[in-house]
Structure 1
Amino acid sequence: MEQNRRDVLRIASIMGLAVAAGLIKPGEAWAQAQDWNKSAFDAKNLGDTVKALGGSNAAASSAVQIEAPDIAENGAVVPVAVSSTLPNVQQIAIVVEKNPAALSGTFAIPAGTEPYVATRVKMAQTSNVHALVKADGKWFVATKEIKVTLGGCGG
């Protein structure tokens, strides 16, 4: 795991140097590294997000775990971690129901990789946070309500 982290840091450093030297433009580096699914990020709710990600629906599953605080004192930086015990996980997505753009992020999970992601999301207000996991071509979901007491997207 430590070697993978070093590889990511090494690649990020090289890309940063190439941008700083003017060899590539920032947009070119991003376009090469990530496929953009605009319709998924424009979706306003869980159902539309699942459809935009290629699914028809998401089944509730106890094999999907979401770790996040019950109360976030600062909605600008809310830690959220998602893990799963499902076999053959291909993708993990985080959806914040009441945000202007519901989809906070998607993460490709390569074969043989532990299905775990951790990030910080920005929340406009108290909301349900959904952890979506795609395994064997099917979508599964776990939900947790997080109460936001200060800050957030809306101020």
Structure 2
Amino acid sequence: MRGPMSWTPDRRRLLVGGAALIVLTPQRALAVARPPREPTAAAIRRFAGEAEIRPGRVHLDLPPLVENGNAVPLAVSVDSPMSATDFVRRIAVFNDKNPQPNVITVHLGPKAGRAAITTRIRLADTQTVTAIAELSDGSYWSATADAIVTLAACVEG
């Protein structure tokens, strides 16, 4: 027996109430829940420290025009003999406009055989992608490529 003052929760009322709560939540409160975006330069410094990063020895293959940013092919190779005394320790890829600027870091060694990686990445917008390699002698080398993205991925409100 239900009177005008009685209320029993049912599935429909809970769904409507939850939807209303989402709609009425201020966007500023949702933004506070997201971690702040790290600038690309800071992410690169976290990778390389204060070491000089020189252009060269790294080859970055990225399509200049991307129709869909959800799966962009990327290849990075480094000129290195990959011997016991001269090899690539790490390769990192960074981009400017994604929520996480450090896309990938790969650790290599002399037994890797080749200093190369191939993968697919997500790009949020038209931007510059940077690949940096750390060699066994402590030097850092880099290459950059620009990609124009017509349909963005990683979109944040």
For the superposition of Structure 1 and Structure 2, which TM-score range results when normalised by the shorter chain? Answer: 0.5 to 0.7
Q: Which residue of 2 aligns with 1:95?
A: 94
Quick check: 72-81 or 58-67, which moved more?
A: 58-67
For 1:48 and 1:57, how far apart are their aligned partners in 2? 13
Deviations for 1:15-50, whole angstroms, at most 9, x for unmatched residues? xxxxxxxxxxxxxxxxxxxxxxxxxxx6421x3123
1:111 matched to 2:110? The reply is yes
Count of aligned pairs: 113
Give the residue type in structure 1 aligned to 2:53.
A
Superimposed CA distance per residue, residues 79-104 of structure 1 (whole angstroms, 9 cap, x where no aligned partner): 11100104421000110111111010
Contact 2:77–2:116 (CA under 8 A) maintained in structure 1: yes
Tell me, yes or no, if the aligned pair for 2:87 and 2:109 is still in contact at 8 Å: no
Q: Match of 1:65?
A: 59
Structure 2 vs 1, CA of residues 58 and 143 (structure 1 numbering), >3 Å: closer, same or farther? farther
SS at 1:128 equivalent: strand
Inter-partner Cα distance in structure 2 for 1:75 and 1:100: 14
The DSSP-based 3-state class of the residue aligned with 2:129 is strand
1:50 is the counterpart of 2:44: yes
Q: Is the 8 A contact 1:43 1:103 kept in 2?
A: no
CA distance in 1, matches of 2:102, 2:47: 10
Task: Kindly report the root-mean-square deviation, in angstroms, between the aligned alpha carbons of the 2 structures.
Answer: 1.8
Normalised by the length of structure 2, the TM-score is 0.66
**Is the 1:96–1:102 Cα contact (8 Å) retained in structure 2?**
yes
Specify which structure has the higher proportion of helix.
1
How far residue 77 of structure 1 moved from its aligned partner, in angstroms, is 0.5
Distance 2:115 2:131 in 1: 12
TM-score, reference length from structure 1: 0.66
Q: Where has structure 1 moved over 2 Å in runs of 4 or more? A: 57-62
1:7 aligns to what?
A: none
Distance 1:43 1:127 in 2: 16
Q: Secondary structure at the residue paired with 1:153?
A: coil
Match of 1:130 in 2: 130
Letter in 2 for 1:44: P
